[in-house]
Amino acid sequence: MALSYKARRRWSLIILLIGLPLYVVLAVTVMNWLDRPPFWIELLVYLALGIVWALPLRFVFRGIGQPDPDAAPAPTEKKDPAKR
C-alpha cells in the first residue's frame, strides 16, 4: 500500500519525534544490561543500531524534503515588457 505524500510527511514527523527517541532509549538500555564490552565492539554496535533503524523506514522518508508532487503548480507571474 503506497502512502500519499502528506501521510508520509506525517509519519516521518511522528517517527522522528516519538519513535527515534524511544529507539535510542531502548538501545542504550539493552547495552547497559550487557557487561561493558570493549570500546570498539560497543562503537560497532552503536553504529549498526544507528543504521538499522532507518532501513525499514526509508520508504517513509524518501522524497519528504521535496515539494509536494500532488500540489498544483504555483502560478507564474507574467512579466510585462513595458515595465522595465
Mean pLDDT rounded to a whole number for the chain: 83
Residue 34 lies in a domain: yes
| Cβ atoms of 9 and 64 closer than 8 Å | yes
Residue 84 above 70 pLDDT?
A: no
Rounded to 5 degrees, φ, ψ at 82 are -75, -20
Taking alpha carbons only, the member of 6, 21, 9, 79 closest to residue 53 is: 21
Which residues form the domain of 28?
5-61
Amino acid in position 22: L
Alpha-carbon distance of 15 to 58, in angstroms, equals: 11
Alpha-carbon distance of 21 to 63, in angstroms, equals: 22
Alpha-carbon distance of 44 to 51, in angstroms, equals: 11
pLDDT of 25 reads 94
Residue 81 lies in a domain: no
> For the segment 36-61, what is each residue's pLDDT rounded down to a tens digit?
888 998 888 889 988 988 888 888 88
Residue 80 above 70 pLDDT?
A: no
Number of domains the chain contains: 1
